Structure 1
């Protein structure tokens, strides 16, 4: 039996890439020849090359919601990227293009549509990003993480499935996690994750509060690249990393409570792991507000407590931690009842059933 070919696309941030990797890892490579199209220098290039999937870089402009001279320049980059993507797709002849969004995906989607290649897209956030707002017009099927997101897409081709989380994240060992960190089981572990680049204000608030926090918790602080504090190295009950990869599943298995940004992929992983969370979303000045909506949805469903960054202080952080701890069992019960975890299986099944 000859293999089918699938091309993945998506980039700009790790959040547009890691769900693609989760799907790639679950596809039967006896059935599928897997390729990836991304930007020439984006974070997706580094992440995809690590898993040995053939990578094709194209030019891509940034999509902006505001008036800027660079928009004119980037329009030419998008047009150029579309031509480049079309050449790659004509060569690869894929049976399907799968997109997780990000500005690099738009030229690929337009090129695929022009070649009559079926297109699946997945939207992680409560409201669609600009790339997926454009891509929906060319897509064959649309999948969303949130029920609330369905209203923004054509109902006939949209299905709510949740977020395709990495299965490996569910296989950690709490014992191995504590061993790696040098922590014990007598005191709960609080993990702080600000995203792939960290979060300056969260980092500051945590470090301002360390004296009090370490009285109640052992702390794992994933602070982002170039954000380590050398003065805190070796401090008892506190372990800081720029980034963790292979050991993350074990660390999360040992974690009792997490402080996080409101990125959809991360919070759905914590939901699947049933870790109560405090979500501190990016402000509207820093983003289009999608993380705020994600956090509100999770808070309303009883999975998390939302704390606005504008209100973040050492005192408000301590109060939020107390509130979550008091209702920890309720949070866990709500998470167990959510049924989260089937999105990846749904997508693999849909991909396997594609007909060209």
Structure 2
């Protein structure tokens, strides 16, 4: 069997796609991944040992501007190249996990009569998936409420949850600490702004760093590649040595499972894939939704965890170094609260999500 998988732009689209790709590969499927030729997937997917073809896609501007002409030109080229690649590869199914690159690929597949599946990670669907839903065979959802935003037959919809890479589960704690050169007996805070980093979070961590150093607490900080130097300069300006053994400042970490396992509490954005990894790791979290997310979907994602006692919600408009530190202290200094939030996160984990999505794919291709 053969599958073309597409999705990209951010880790939130790439990692569910890779989870599916790895599982199908384990079942002896042949995989071809089509992604943007200049976004994250162009590095991450080949590094994961999958065949990758880059397409010269560009996002459609959300407001009317001259950029729309360039976008239409590039996406038209990508659409016809996708047709060529599909005809050559002859896939049994085409699977899209969102991001603008999925648009021309899945559309090309549908028009060629190929079986097609899309997966939506968020409580409010992205524009690419909303458009594609009309022409695909199956629409798989993480949040059931997302189905309300698709004007399609409910017969197409399947609730699968969000597929998480199997390596995220059941990582040995001692090994995770060893890989990151951390001490197992110390509390650890993980700060991550998602696969691209988050400058607004990085700008409000000085007080937290000072508190951690004074109280013998470790910090893993995934800054994002473009924000790494700015963060290092900021810490030095405040007299904090970024080389201290307690501090692990990393621009990008592919082995996210080690950071998740080593952490006692996680400060993060609220993208659906990141939240699935947090709940799968059974960790308490402070969530700072990206205020610019389409239709404020990250806020909706975070509210789902907050409602179940698994997370504390802190909106960008309320964020400051002092408030962030206070929120951390309320959790990390209260063992019972830390335990109960971790248990609540674990209760939301959907460890069978990948199996459910694979079952949808296998059933569709057997029809």
Equivalent residue number for residue 195 of structure 1:
194
CA pair 187-55 structure 1, distance change in 2 beyond 3 A: closer
Matched-pair contact (CA < 8 Å) for 2:123–2:301: yes
Equivalent residue number for residue 88 of structure 2:
91
1:338 deviates by 2.8
Match of 1:292 among 299, 302, 308: 299
Q: State how far apart, in whole Å, the 1-side matches of 2:182 and 2:214 are.
A: 14
Aligned pair count reads: 351
Are 1:161 and 2:171 an aligned pair? no
Q: Which runs of structure 2 are paired with 1:14-53 in the superposition (5 Å)?
A: 14-29=11-26, 31-53=28-50
Q: State how far apart, in whole Å, the 2-side matches of 1:90 and 1:274 are.
A: 43
Secondary structure at 1:205 match in 2: coil
1:339 deviates by 4.8
Q: State how far apart, in whole Å, the 1-side matches of 2:78 and 2:198 are.
A: 32
Equivalent residue number for residue 140 of structure 2:
143
CA pair 31-244 structure 1, distance change in 2 beyond 3 A: closer
Equivalent residue number for residue 270 of structure 2:
262
Q: Which runs of structure 2 are paired with 1:221-300 in the superposition (5 Å)?
A: 221-226=221-226, 227-228=228-229, 229=232, 231=236, 232-246=241-255, 248-284=256-292, 287-300=294-307
Equivalent residue number for residue 121 of structure 2:
124
Deviations 1:124-145 (A, max 9, x none): 1111111111110111111111
Q: State how far apart, in whole Å, the 1-side matches of 2:208 and 2:298 are.
A: 24
Q: State how far apart, in whole Å, the 1-side matches of 2:318 and 2:348 are.
A: 29
Are 1:172 and 2:183 an aligned pair? no
Equivalent residue number for residue 355 of structure 1:
366
CA pair 182-95 structure 1, distance change in 2 beyond 3 A: closer
1:273 deviates by 1.0
1:288 deviates by 4.3
Secondary structure at 1:34 match in 2: strand
Q: State how far apart, in whole Å, the 2-side matches of 1:28 and 1:62 are.
A: 30
**Bigger mean CA deviation after superposition, 115-124 or 57-66:** 57-66
Structure 2, unmatched stretches of 5+, are none
1:236 deviates by 4.4
1:287 deviates by 4.9
Deviations 1:230-270 (A, max 9, x none): 63332242221112223x32332221110001111111111
**Bigger mean CA deviation after superposition, 271-280 or 55-64:** 55-64
CA pair 55-250 structure 1, distance change in 2 beyond 3 A: closer
Equivalent residue number for residue 63 of structure 1:
60
Matched-pair contact (CA < 8 Å) for 2:282–2:349: no
Q: State how far apart, in whole Å, the 2-side matches of 1:260 and 1:30 are.
A: 34
1:295 deviates by 1.1
Q: State how far apart, in whole Å, the 2-side matches of 1:324 and 1:121 are.
A: 38
Q: State how far apart, in whole Å, the 1-side matches of 2:294 and 2:343 are.
A: 32
CA pair 30-323 structure 1, distance change in 2 beyond 3 A: closer
**Bigger mean CA deviation after superposition, 207-216 or 300-309:** 207-216
Q: State how far apart, in whole Å, the 1-side matches of 2:258 and 2:11 are.
A: 20
Secondary structure at 2:213 match in 1: helix
Deviations 1:195-219 (A, max 9, x none): 1222112112112432123334211
**Bigger mean CA deviation after superposition, 51-60 or 112-121:** 51-60
Q: State how far apart, in whole Å, the 2-side matches of 1:194 and 1:274 are.
A: 19
Q: State how far apart, in whole Å, the 1-side matches of 2:328 and 2:41 are.
A: 34
Matched-pair contact (CA < 8 Å) for 1:95–1:355: no
Q: State how far apart, in whole Å, the 2-side matches of 1:268 and 1:50 are.
A: 23
